Amino acid sequence: MKNRLYLVLLLLIPIFSCKNAKVDCEIINYEEPSEQSLFFSDFVDSIELIQLDSCSDAYLTSDAILIPHDSSFYVFNRRFLYIGFAPKAGVVLKFRSDGRFVGLIGDAGSEPGEYLYPSNFFFNSDTLCVVTNRDKYIHYFKTNGEFITKTSVPYNSFEQVYKYSDNRYLVYLNLNNKIRDERLVVLDKQGKEIDAFLPKKTKVGRWENSRSVFTKYGNEIMLREFYIDTIYKYNPEQGLRPRLMVEFGEKKIYKDKYLKSQGGSEAYVQFLEKPFACIDDFLESSSYFIIKILDNMSFNNYRWVYGIKDKTGNQVKWFEFNKENTFLASSLQYLDGNKLIFLAEPTDFDKADNNFKGKLKHPESLERIDPEGNSVVVVVNLK
C-alpha cells in the first residue's frame, strides 16, 4: 500500500493588503497538488509511535482531542459520535509522554471538580480550563488533577469561550444566536461588552465538529473554524486582525446562499455539490505554520491538503496524503515546535508502507502496537 504524498511547491507571494482589511497580512496562492510525489524523506526527519494505555478509564472516543503540555498528553475524550467502549467519554484524561495513563482531570457530574458536556478545553499557563456551555462555567484544575475553582461564563448563547486574562473573555457565539450580528465578543470579568468582531456572514459551521476555535501562539489568540479563506488573530492592543489569507483561484466560491441561511441543511447540500476549497485549520509554532485545506472535488468526495511553511524560508509546501493511505490525513492534533502530533486508531497501521516504516525512530514500536488497544500518538519530527 502506497504512502506517497503529492507535492506542489509554491512561492509565497510577498505581503499584500488583505482584501476588506485595514491591515496587512500574508497572501498565499493555493493550487491543487500535482502528480509529482513527495516522500516522507523530503520533509520528515523521524516518526515516533506512542500507544496510550488501555485500562478501562483510559479508552478514547474516536473523535478525542489532544493537547501536549509539560511532557504529558491531555486528551478531551469527547462524548459525541464515538464508537466503541469509552466509559469516561466527556471528560479530560491525562497520559504521560510514554503513554502511561495518569488519571482523570475532573469527572462527569455536577459536584465540585465535576462537569457535564464540555465544549472545549485549554491551558492558561499551568492551569487546565474545561468549558461547559450547558451550565456555562469554566472549571479550573491543576495539572495533577486537583480542582481549583469554577467561574460562570458571563454570556448566555455561546459555542466556546477562552479566558484571555483575569479581566478579559473571548466568547464565540452560536451561528444562529439572536444576540449579536457578530460571532466573536470580547467581555470584561463583569460581563460588560468591550468589542465585537466577525460578522456572521464571514463564517460557517465547523467541518469537523471537534476542534477548539481558539489556539494560542505567543500573546496572540488565533481563530480557526472552517474558515473560507482567512485566519484571524486577536490581542487586546490591536484587536482582531487577519493573520493570513489563502487565494483559491477557481475554487474560491463564497456560497452566499449558504452563509445567509446560517447553515441551513438545503443550502449546505448545495454548498457541497460543486468543487470548492477553503481553510479547515491552522496551527503555528515558533518554527512553522501549518495550513489544513479542505478540498472538495465533488459531493462527498473531499480530501485534506496540508501546507507547511518553515518560517526561515519563503515557500509553502503543499502535500496530500495518498487516498490509499489516509490514516493520518484528518487526524492532525497539534504543532509543537517542529513536531506534528497526530492521533490515530491502532487498526490503521496495517496501511503503513515502507516509506512510513523507514522513518520510525524505533522500528520495533510498530510491531508493539496492539490492534485491540487504545489510540496511538504519532509524533512526526520535521526537518
Which amino acid is residue 260, in one-letter code?
K
Please determine, for residue 147, whether its predicted confidence score (pLDDT) is greater than 90. Answer: yes
Torsion-angle region of 184 (φ positive above 0: left; ψ -120 to 50: alpha; else: beta): beta
Q: Is the dihedral of CA 107, 109, 113, 117 positive or negative?
A: positive
Q: How far is CA 307 from CA 7, 55, 179, 281, 290, in A?
A: 10, 37, 36, 11, 6
| Per-residue pLDDT at 168 | 85
Residues 6+ apart with CB under 8 A from 105: 74, 91, 92, 93, 94, 128, 130, 141, 145
The answer to whether 93 and 58 are in contact (CB under 8 A) is: yes
Of 260 and 122, which is predicted with more confidence?
122
- Cell numbers 495533577: residue: 144
**Tell me: the pLDDT tens digits for 262-319?**
555 666 666 666 777 888 888 888 889 888 888 877 666 777 888 888 888 878 888 8
Closest CA to 232 of 66, 20, 10: 20
Q: What distance in Å separates the CA atoms of residue 17 and residue 24, rounded to the nearest whole number?
A: 4
Per-range mean pLDDT, top range of 72-76, 233-237, 268-272: 72-76
* Least-confidence region, from 176-185, 195-204, 308-317: 195-204
Average pLDDT on 36-53 reads 79
Ramachandran angles phi, psi of 364, nearest 5°: -70, -15
Long-range residue pairs from 75-81, CB within 8 A, at least 24 positions apart, any chain: 75/343, 76/118, 76/120, 76/121, 78/210, 79/117, 80/209
- Starting at the edge strand found earlier in the chain, the sheet holding 147-152 runs 118-124, 127-132, 137-142, 147-152
Please determine, for residue 255, whether its predicted confidence score (pLDDT) is greater than 60. Answer: no
Give the confidence band of 154 by pLDDT, cuts at 50, 70, 90.
Answer: confident
Q: Give the chain's domains with CATH numbers.
A: 5-382 (2.120.10.30)
Instruction: Name the DSSP class of 360.
Output: B
Q: Give the global pTM.
A: 0.83
